Each structure stands twice: as C-alpha cells, then as structure tokens.
Amino acid sequence: MKEKPVLNTVLSPKLLDLYNIKDSIFVVIDVFRATSTMATALYNGAKKIIPVDNVSKCIEIGAKTGGITAGERDGKVIEGLQYGNSPAEYPRSFIEGKVLVLTTTNGTKLLHMALDKGASEVITGSFPNITAVCDYLIAQKRNVILGCSGWKDKFNLEDTLFAGAVIERVKEHFTIHCDASLMASEMYQKHEGDIKEYIKETTHWHRLSAFGLEKDLEYCVTNDVAPVLPFYKNSELIAK
Amino acid sequence: MKEKPVLNTVLSPKLLDLYNIKDSIFVVIDVFRATSTMATALYNGAKKIIPVDNVSKCIEIGAKTGGITAGERDGKVIEGLQYGNSPAEYPRSFIEGKVLVLTTTNGTKLLHMALDKGASEVITGSFPNITAVCDYLIAQKRNVILGCSGWKDKFNLEDTLFAGAVIERVKEHFTIHCDASLMASEMYQKHEGDIKEYIKETTHWHRLSAFGLEKDLEYCVTNDVAPVLPFYKNSELIAK
C-alpha cells in the first residue's frame, strides 16, 4: 500500500523555516480577514487579486493595471487607497471582472514566503471556501502544509481553528505526526458547535470588533459561502 | 484598584522576539525532560545545576567544578559524559551536595535566551514543581512570561499543557489577553483528568518511548513530586 502523504500545521510565519515545504501544497490561512476576503472577491467574479505587501506598491500596481486598490489599518481604509479589507465590500455587482490590488497585514506576507521557500503550489484557505480546499487536498494526494498567518507573527486562535477544521475533514487521507495539528484539531472539535460565540474570546475579535466589524468576523467563520479555490501564481491569485 | 500584572505564553523560542520580556518573571518550560530533571535534582539536594548548550563545554565545566557531567541524545548518555537526562538518575542518595553540569536539547537554550533578552528573573517550571512555581508567581505580582521550549523550536503539547496548568491556577491574579494562553488553558482543562494517557498522543512521547523512557515521561507529568523553585542566575540554577 502506498504511504499516505504528510500534513503539517505551521502556527506562525516565524516557524516556517522549521518545516520542509518543498513539493508541498501550501495553504495560506488568514481567517480575519485576508483569505476570507480573497475567496469572496474571487467567488464573486474578480478577474484576479494582486496581493502586495505595502501601500505604495498597491497604488503603483493599481495605476498600472487599472485595478481597485484596497487595504485597511485599524479598521479604516488606508489613505491613498480606495477600499478596505472587508469581504462585504466585494459583492458580485461591484467586483465582477475587476482586478483587486490588496495589501493586508499578515496574509500577504505568508503568500510571498510560501512561494519563496519552495512550496510547489500555494492556495488560500478560509471558512468561506473550506470545502473547496479540503476536496482539493484530498484529491491531490500530495504533502500539505497548513500555514497560519497569525497576528504579526503571533499565534492566533482563528487561523488555528481553521487548520483544525481542515484536519478534521481530511485526516484519514494523510499521515499526521505533528503536535500543532493535533492541538488544532482538538480545539476545532471543541468549538465546532459554538464557533460564532467562541471567536468573541479571541484577541483578534477584541481588536476588530472595536472598529464595528462584528458582522465581518461572523461571516469569516461561515462555511462555504464563497466556494472557490484561489491559486497564487506569478504574484496573482486566480480562481480555478 | 491597581491593575493586575500581565501574563503571556510563548509557544516556541522562535517567537520570543515578539514579546517584551523586560522586567518579567520568565518561566522556562521543558517538560520532557530538562526542567523536570532540574527540579528533581535540586529537590534532592544538588548544590547547583550548570546548564550548558554543548558537550565540550559540559566536559570542560565538569572538570573545572568537579561536577557530574550529564546529557543525552536519542535516549542514550552522550559519549564523554557520565549520566543522562532522566530525573530517575538523580535520587538524593546520589545527587545531594553535588554539582550537576547538564546539557539538553531545548531547555538550556531557552534559559540562556531569556536572560539575554532581558527577563528580570528566570525560573524553571515543570509538573514536579508546579505548586512552587504558581505560588511564587501569584506572590510576586509582576508580569509573567510562560516560555515553552518546544522540540527544536517546534510547538509541542507537553509544554503547552504545563503552561495551561499554570494559567488555570493563577489566572485570577493576572491580565491575560493572549490567544496562546487561552488555547493552553483550554487544552489543559480538557486533559487534566487523562494527562498520563493523553501524553501518549504527543510526538515527543513517540520519540522518547522508543527508547524505553515511558516511566520517565509519566513522572514528568506528575504534580509536586519535586517541590522546589529553581532560579537561574550567573549561569547557574539554584533552589530557593
């Protein structure tokens, strides 16, 4: 019998160097809110998303591509950009056919790191596209890294819960010897039934709800409301 | 009312830079087995422990101090050293009044890092001395960092469970806004009753039990069998 592929969970971008990610499918996770917004915009017909790691690049590429420039700091649209980082800002009526140039605090950095460090394929994961992610991972039969973006490199619960949710769905298809995966899986099992309440305990909720973003955060832990699979290639995210 | 001091949990030495540890009490945690062995040797009357980060230094300082040299790799005493890293090797009848020069994979490194990065006080924590640690933290009323050594910088469950056990006991005395602490606390709550069974799920158990160290590992999750408080100062651990 062929051995199962291996799955590991990385709890912070700072820990990425400890793992061999070559030839793996790398799932970038930034539940609040980058990867949830990315899935939503692509599901609603965005032509592509160009994730960039700073504001001046966002403006420059926005001008070059005619794309929408977007990014938030502290819950407000960044000066010089047009839109924010809320999935609610990107309904089909607005985003269809357009290019979105997006700068975010945590998720964008990990997208770049994953490719730089040799992942063979980089996709984004979030509750809004969880089934698309899991179906793909099971079908590919290749090693997987679940990469949590965290908050400024610190461990966070919402990305961990998503990693755990994925593991719960795919674990029979993978070899998993990884304490981070075991922990993520148990935390998800514990909170599967009360996730919309439980996220109110997280530090990220406290930070973002202070900006009135509660509805956003609840959306970001809702399964399969943006069933699409975003691939990151040539500095662009496109839906497959 | 005076504000409560702050407690944070650091899940890997690699994440230490993300925290301000100045003026904090830093608890170095390496449950399997460095900090468990350190508590045990000091409780059993070792004069002091000199933790060193490599074998040649261990031999050199052992010769200089007349101390016992100790260290293991892959469950065996390292060539050139006299004893291993098992708490069972250090009963009172053997260790009382002696100097122990100990090299370990993970815990020693974090002891050094904590002082280098400015912690005002560094102590070691393990289940064998958990009450001594918690009583001290509550009494001091100062900021606390619970520092998990992990395994070669990777997240591990046994250190996380110990952090959670401490948090459960001290949480009313601290301000805790830290997802790592919340997770650790919940993982401990979940496994408080079955910890000797649960540790068999961890990657570290699988590594060490292959060397026949099951009894050691069970000892290392037993509360208060070595009730002592090891302080790290001037490159030495002594009991207070």
Residue contact A14–B14, C-beta within 8 A: yes
Query: Three-class SS of residue A226?
Result: coil
d(CA A29, CA A36): 9
Mean pLDDT of all residues in A92-120: 93
- Cβ-nearest to B183 among A18, A157, A179: A157
Q: How many residues can be counted in chain A?
A: 240
At A12, list the tokens.
């912070």
Q: Please list the ranges in chain B whose pLDDT falls under 70.
A: 1
pLDDT at res. A150:
95
Q: Strand runs (DSSP E) across chain A, as ranges?
A: 7-10, 25-29, 48-52, 68-73, 76-77, 99-103, 121-125, 144-148, 230-233, 236-239
pLDDT at res. A69:
98
Q: CA of B206: which chain A residue's CA is closest?
A: A177
From chain B, the residues in CB contact with A15 under 8 A are 12, 14-15, 153-155
pLDDT at res. A1:
62
pLDDT at res. B213:
87
Cβ neighbours for B212, distance < 8 A, ≥ 6 positions apart: B75
Mean pLDDT of all residues in A171-197: 97
Residue contact A154–B15, C-beta within 8 A: yes
Name the band, by pLDDT with cuts 50, 70 and 90, for residue A211: confident
pLDDT at res. B209:
86
Other C-beta atoms closer than 10 Å to the C-beta of A2 total 5
Query: Three-class SS of residue B171?
Result: helix
At A38, list the tokens.
């990315």
The reported pTM is 0.96
Q: Using CB atoms and an 8 Å cut-off, which of residues 109-168 of chain A contact chain B?
A: 152-157, 160
Phi and psi angles of residue B154, each rounded to the nearest 5 degrees, phi first: -80, 150
Q: Is the four-CA dihedral B63, B68, B73, B79 of positive or negative sign?
A: positive
Name the band, by pLDDT with cuts 50, 70 and 90, for residue A240: confident
In angstroms, what separates the C-alpha of B204 from chain A's closest C-alpha? 9
Q: Domains of chain A by range and CATH? A: 7-239 (3.90.1560.10)
Q: What is the mean pLDDT of chain A?
A: 95
Partners of residue A8 on adjacent β-strands: A145
Name the band, by pLDDT with cuts 50, 70 and 90, for residue A206: confident
d(CA A25, CA A140): 9
Per-residue pLDDT for A2 more than 80?
A: no
From chain B, the residues in CB contact with A202 under 8 A are 179, 182
At A1, list the tokens.
């019998």
Counting Cβ atoms within 10 Å, is residue A220 exposed (0-12), middle (13-18) or buried (19+)?
A: buried
Residue type, B163: A
d(CA A191, CA B183): 12
Residue contact A201–B182, C-beta within 8 A: yes
Other C-beta atoms closer than 10 Å to the C-beta of A234 total 8
Answer for the pair A149, A159: CB distance below 8 angstroms, yes or no: yes
DSSP state of B103: E
d(CA A133, CA A223): 11
